[in-house]
Chains A and B, each alone.
Chain A
Amino acid sequence: MSFLRKSRNLFNAVGAARQNAKLFNAAIAQRGYSSKSEDDGATFPGARNASFVNDLKLTLPEDYAPIPIYRVMDRDGYILNKNEDPQLSQEVVEKMFRDMLLLSTMDKILYESQRQGRISFYMTNFGEEASHIGSAAALEMRDIIYGQYREAGVLVWRGFRIDQFIDQCYGNVDDLGRGKQMPVHYGSKELNFVTISSPLSTQIPQAVGAAYALKRRLDNDACVICYFGEGAASEGDTHAAFNFAATLECPVILFCRNNGFAISTPSNEQYRGDGIAGRGPMGYGIATIRVDGTDVFAVYNAMKKAREYVLRENKPIVFEALAYRVGHHSTSDDSTAYRSADEIDVWNTFEHPISKLKKYMVHKGWFNEQEETEFVSTVRKQVLKQIAVSEKKLKPNWREMFEGVYDTIPDHLQQQQRELEQHIEAHKEFYPLKSFKQ
């Protein structure tokens, strides 16, 4: 039996279980608990829809075909099935393309700025631009986003500006996070993007909890989307989150960015099952979709469907976007130590999401080489200029160090603040007070 047939049966069974419960019980009552019929379904509470068999056989991983990967475009940018063309306007496709270029251009410069010691840390998004932009484009602004740390493209699509990115990385007075977090730990209440938290995978159960809160609202029309890597999916939190999403029936899209690497650990050392998608239907009873994460239209279409499903059914979905992390894990990593430059080159050229979308635009007659060059050059100038500006901006008032620990500043922190004020007043010549806002 193919995986799809099996999973369809499973879903039908699960979906109809409630409605069928009465019928099913009635049927059993009529027949009695006779063991004559081979077709009698089991009634164990732990597996209500399983059937009995008489031949002893192990169920092997090989018995299941891998979940297929949905894609819309081939690597040359041609739509494979016209019915699946999302028919996006030139304007939308151009925004997608430009946002991907902007992200990639900004990443290159900020990566270098870390190398030069201007900021302490950075993480690039190379190779995953389509999964960010495609997914963000299919969502509504009211949907709440929980990211892991490599989702800057989602913020780009939502309108987070270059100055906001760079001010955060430099932790200056205009950083929305008031300089309290490491670089790339963006957050924006206005854009419904929850501040990035460093510990891996804790965002997943939290996202499910937020989805539960949304579900309780009258006429809820928003969902939660939670991004995480395939490596993060090995954390216990992920199991807990999947299980809760299923049992609490929460409108959450569990979006795995499977980019093949957790720092240096390749996915074949991370897990042995069929990726993260493979865990969804059979493992947790969650509807699942797997897409080519380098194909922006595939991600977009699948995300539209996923959003519609989670809100209609009030149930979660597991969404696996397969891609390749073209960049190093972070600025603390040199990935050529564990993978070949040739391999990276393939994913950096004709398998690259930007290259695929560019080819599509060429076929449509929407691409203009000169405009692209100018756009990249403008973004470069803007980013470089912003770095110079952000670097020179004042740091937040140092008194803010004591704010935000509690809703109101407790006595002992007020006292410490006063002591620091007195100390600084007495020894101000030794402190760079000019670089802090007064």
Chain B
Amino acid sequence: MLRSRLTQAACAAQRAFSTSPRVLAAVKQMTVRDGLNSALDDELARDDRVLLLGEEVAQYDGAYKVSRGLWKKYGDKRIIDTPITEMGFAGIAVGAAMAGLRPVCEFMTFNFSMQAIDHVINSAAKTFYMSAGAVNVPIVFRGPNGAASGVAAQHSQCFAAWYAHCPGLKVVSPYDTEDARGLLKSAIRDPDPVVVLENELMYGTAFPVDDKVTDVDFLVPIGKAKIMRPGKDITIVAHSKAVETALQTAAELAKKGIEAEVINLRSIRPLDMDTIFASVRKTHHLITVENGWPQHGVGAEICARFMENEAFFELDAPVWRCCGVDVPMPYAKTLEAHALPRVPDVTEAALKVLGGKARSK
């Protein structure tokens, strides 16, 4: 099993803080990578219109080995290595989708998707509308998103806010194996274009999965968040790897007698505000955690939605956003670590938001 030191650490941390009741019953562990791989395998087998294309996805098994074994199983027609041009293969995938196929277009990382963004936004997202419903584009754009490790400014950034800005796209951001597997399968079956933002640092992390998750018909609905840990004192909303930070923060807060409710967004667009509103009606306090930048970010959008909803009156304190620092990602290891929200940062934020309530615990 390929695992970097970092992902091993993440894996250990996750196990330590997981509160899912399933952990006790489940014996089977599956990495996020295998979750994605099995999702692709299921859907390739289920529907012969599905194909995977991107750089190195076939003979090399994918730059991050997400497509391991699929080329051998499905061959050149279904698993396609492309020349190095994101705008090219994204365009090919959009055209193939318009002509009735269901392409899964892998960006080696979402950083490279900027080369192809015109196809994603102006073609994939808008064609159904512009053709007045005549031409739909059932396509999945997927790949690792967000900060990786030691790859600095141009390879460490979150595109959740970028893509979630655009009508016509659906955007999902899985955290664990269940999310990754269920959301990718839903994305492939969806009639609309879906952007699947995976996280490189999570690929090697194993999570317990039960038989329901490994079932070929297991799907995670797009547009629904998941409560990872129930609590009554404060709501922590996060997506992708930041869910891990949120769970670890909740464990820290528990030591102080504070019960935090952790919400894993799963989908960024549509955004499941109902789940967040319901949680805040209970906790009256909210912080958001994301590894992307603050301005116009996912947290900013959640704050704005509160301003527009009567749930605003449920808040006993202002919402606090915990985001990546507003600079390009530094290369130096210590700076990199401090450029992303860490457990102590989020814990501090939670305590500040709770104010006197935290002190009274």
Contact = CB atoms under 8 A, between A and B. Distances in A.
Nearest to A214: B99
Contact of B167 (A204, A214, A405): A405
Interface in A375-421: 400, 403-407, 410-412
A177 interface: yes
B231 interface: no
Given A197-B122, A213-B101, A410 B223 contact: yes
B4 to A, nearest CB: 32
A412 B304 CA distance: 14
Contact of B135 (A189, A207, A213, A244): A189
A214 B127 CA distance: 20
Interface string B298-318: 000000000000000000000
B192 A240 contact: no
Nearest to B274: A411
A195 interface: yes
Nearest to A407: B191
B168 interface: yes
A270 to B, nearest CB: 20
B228 interface: no
A161 to B, nearest CB: 17
A240 B122 contact: no
> Which one of A197, A198, A400 has the greatest number of beta carbons of chain B within 10 Å?
A197
Contacts of A248: 80, 92
Interface string B48-85: 00000000000000000000000000000100101101
B170 interface: yes
B119 interface: yes
Interface in A184-218: 185, 187, 189, 194-195, 197-199, 202, 204-214, 216
A213 B99 contact: yes
Chain A CB within 10 Å — which of B87, B90, B223 has the most?
A: B87
Contacts of A209: 91-99, 103
B96 A212 contact: yes
Interface string A204-242: 111111111110100000000000000000001101110
B85 A197 contact: no
A403 B89 CA distance: 29
Contacts of A411: 270
B123 interface: yes
A327 B95 CA distance: 31
Contact of A195 (B134, B167, B192): B134
B348 interface: no
A114 interface: no
22 contacts: A180-B130, A180-B132, A187-B130, A195-B131, A206-B91, A207-B95, A208-B91, A208-B92, A208-B95, A209-B94, A212-B95, A241-B92, A243-B83, A243-B88, A244-B82, A400-B132, A403-B133, A404-B128, A405-B168, A406-B192, A407-B128, A407-B190
Given A208-B92, A236-B85, A403-B133, 8 more contacts: A176-B134, A209-B96, A210-B99, A239-B88, A240-B91, A243-B83, A243-B88, A244-B92
